[in-house]
Each structure stands twice: as structure tokens, then as C-alpha cells.
């Protein structure tokens, strides 16, 4: 997998996580552990995208 295709894959994952965070946050009683886990995953994906972009 090329770096560019990996970045695109990570971007899709980042968007999916963002949607899950939005959905969980708008539930009547959002689970804070789930939200924290999703946000941490999203941050890790963003950091990996940034790292790959700097090495292009």
C-alpha cells in the first residue's frame, strides 16, 4: 500500500470515527468511556496521517 493510499484509508477511518463520536454524543445518555475511547482512536489516526504527510 502506498503512503497516499494509506493516508486516504486513514482519512476515511477518521471520518467514520467522527460520525461515531457525533452519534454517541447525541444519545440521551452518552457513554463517556465509549466517547473517550473513540476520541483517542481518532487522535491516533490523525497523528498517523500527519506523520505520513510529513514523510511524503
Q: What is the pLDDT along the chain (56 residues), one digit of tens a residue?
A: 799 999 999 999 999 999 999 999 999 999 999 999 999 999 999 999 999 999 87
How much is the pTM? 0.90
Q: Name the residue range of residue 24's domain.
A: 3-54
The number of domains in the chain is: 1
Handedness of CA 5, 11, 54, 47 (dihedral sign): negative
Q: Which residue has the cell 452519534?
A: 23
- How many residues would you count in the chain? 56
DSSP per residue, 11-43: HHHHHHHHHHHHHHHTSSS--HHHHHHHHHHHH
Amino acid at each position: 500500500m502506498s503512503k497516499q493510499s494509506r493516508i486516504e484509508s486513514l482519512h476515511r477511518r477518521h471520518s467514520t470515527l467522527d460520525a461515531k463520536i457525533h452519534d454517541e454524543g447525541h444519545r440521551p445518555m452518552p457513554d463517556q468511556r465509549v466517547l473517550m475511547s473513540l476520541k483517542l482512536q481518532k487522535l491516533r489516526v490523525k497523528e498517523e496521517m500527519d506523520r505520513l504527510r510529513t514523510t511524503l
